[in-house]
Amino acid sequence: HIAAGYASLTRTTGRVPHPRSRPDADPEDMDLLSLVRQRLVVPRLQATDKFEAIEELIDFLVAENEIPDEARSTVLEAVLRREEERPTGIGQGISMPHALVDLLDREVAALGLSPCGVPFGAFDGKAAQIVILLVTPRSLAFRHSDNVRKIVCEMCQTDFRPLLENSLSSGE
């Protein structure tokens, strides 16, 4: 299960699920486990294209009260505009749609899993089975690129990706 694997990974890496849960946490110290909390994982994306996947993840964040209802359309427009400028398919089955917006006061993220994959225009042509949506307030723009880079590096270099891939293949 994702939850059990997440808890195990948290114990073995010494990382905690979200920086707001630690009073001593550096707000600039972002990593995948701290940015995407367990409850912000969509285990089975229903989307068949990248625009549907982005909308599904944004709607999920709205339902989880991570994005205010009144900011939904602005956030969606910003992420879709960024996606149209340059596709966010990273390759190796990963995509990271992201954008800067004015209506949020903190970064929010959601992780979606798609067993069939969603085409995001990756250089290797592989559909994304792992979609990480990152939305950053414009006031924190100085951190945005670094956080995108850090999360992408984590997906390529840690035990987190195999945990997600195992969840996809086992149907958990």
> Tens-of-pLDDT digits for all 172 residues of the chain?
444 444 444 344 333 233 333 333 445 545 566 555 557 889 899 999 999 999 999 999 999 999 999 999 999 999 999 999 999 998 889 999 999 999 888 888 899 999 899 999 999 999 999 999 999 999 888 877 777 777 777 776 656 666 666 655 545 5
pTM above 0.85, yes or no: no
128-137 and 98-101 as β-strands: parallel, antiparallel, unpaired? parallel
Distance of CA 46 to the CA centre of its chain: 16
Name the phi and psi angles at 72, rounded to 5: -55, -55
User: CB burial class (10 A; 0-12, 13-18, 19+) of residue 137?
Assistant: middle
CA distances from 148 to 13, 49, 56, 107, 140 (A): 20, 22, 20, 11, 13
pLDDT for residue 92? 87
Predicted pLDDT of residue 40 = 84
Q: What is the pLDDT of residue 149?
A: 76
